[in-house]
């Protein structure tokens, strides 16, 4: 149809690029600007993942967990600064606790004392006029202040909300700048994507269209006398209480339905 034709102004350079694209997108066919542009647009559109599933409870757990973690880390930073007058990097702070499952988030007391000593003697050798003191000697002479508040703050780091009933601490969600613990939004989104599902391939998109059509049909059956959950189709779609409508299942879109074998 003529109404399907795409008309736009192009420079000679643009036309040359379109001709080159046409050869790749429509090999062996007559070059057509409108068809080439349409094919390119379709190609780009198909490359954008289509979000269709969000584990909302998990997303809420993550937000709560990360904000609590930020607050716990800030207390440690403050206590460390009170003792040494210095701050820490996120890598140094992460080593304050063990991350193995057997000693998960247990304070690494030896490392903490070592870091306190290191920060206390940092730049001190030049202050003692006429004396040549090695770092080892400075470590012997340094007086370690009371670390009880710092140790208590470190012990409390792992006391954050669980995510989907699992103990989690997202170190990669934080950075430290000028003594302040800052949440990195981009990293938080990557973490949340573990609990989101996207249709990415052409086949997944086709499945998603079919199931979404089914979901909208099932929506029309929702009445006061019918429990929506009774219309759930395991592995295909389900009624989402939060959105108040039927949603596609991750199982079918990503993996397909389990075949039914006849005995």
Alpha-carbon span 169 to 173, nearest angstrom: 9
Q: How many CB atoms lie under 10 A from the CB of residue 262?
A: 3
Task: Please state the three-class secondary structure of 106-170 as a single string.
Answer: CECHHHHHHHHHHHHHCCCHHHCCCCCCCHHHHHHHCCCCCCHHHHHHHHCCCCCCCECCECCCC
Question: Could you state, in order of their start, the residue ranges of all structural domains in the chain?
Answer: 10-48, 56-193, 200-263
Q: Show the low-confidence residues of the chain (pLDDT under 50).
A: 1, 260-263
Alpha-carbon span 46 to 42, nearest angstrom: 6
Which residue in 255, 256, 257, 237 sits closest to 247, CA to CA? 237
pLDDT digits (tens, 9 = 90+) for 192-246: 999 999 999 999 999 999 999 999 999 988 876 778 888 999 999 999 998 899 9
Q: What is the pLDDT of residue 263?
A: 44
Q: What is the pLDDT of residue 229?
A: 87
The neighbouring-strand residues paired with 240 are 245
Q: What is the pLDDT of residue 70?
A: 98
């Amino acid at each position: 149809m003529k109404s399907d034709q795409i008309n736009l102004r192009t420079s000679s350079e643009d036309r040359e690029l379109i001709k080159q694209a046409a050869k790749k997108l429509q090999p062996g066919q007559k070059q057509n600007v409108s068809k080439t542009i349409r094919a390119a647009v379709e190609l780009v559109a198909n490359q954008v993942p289509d979000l269709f599933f969000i584990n909302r409870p998990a997303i809420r757990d993550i937000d709560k967990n990360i904000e609590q973690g930020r607050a716990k880390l800030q207390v440690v930073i403050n206590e460390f600064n009170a003792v040494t007058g210095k701050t820490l990097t996120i890598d140094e702070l992460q080593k304050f606790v063990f991350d193995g499952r057997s000693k998960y988030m247990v304070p690494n007391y030896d490392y903490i004392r070592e870091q306190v000593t290191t920060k206390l003697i940092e730049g001190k050798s030049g202050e003692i006029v006429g004396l040549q003191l090695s770092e080892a000697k400075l470590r012997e002479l340094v007086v370690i202040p009371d670390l009880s508040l710092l140790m208590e703050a470190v012990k409390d780091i792992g006391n954050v909300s669980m995510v989907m009933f699992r103990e989690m601490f997202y170190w990669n969600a934080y950075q430290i700048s000028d003594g302040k613990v800052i949440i990195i939004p981009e990293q938080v989104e990557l973490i949340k994507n573990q609990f989101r599902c996207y249709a990415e391939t052409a086949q997944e998109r086709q499945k998603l269209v079919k199931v979404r059509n089914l979901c909208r049909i099932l929506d029309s059956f929702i009445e006061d006398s019918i429990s929506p959950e009774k219309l759930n189709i395991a592995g295909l779609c389900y009624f989402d209480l939060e959105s108040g409508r039927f949603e596609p299942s991750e199982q079918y879109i990503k993996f397909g339905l389990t075949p039914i074998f006849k005995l």
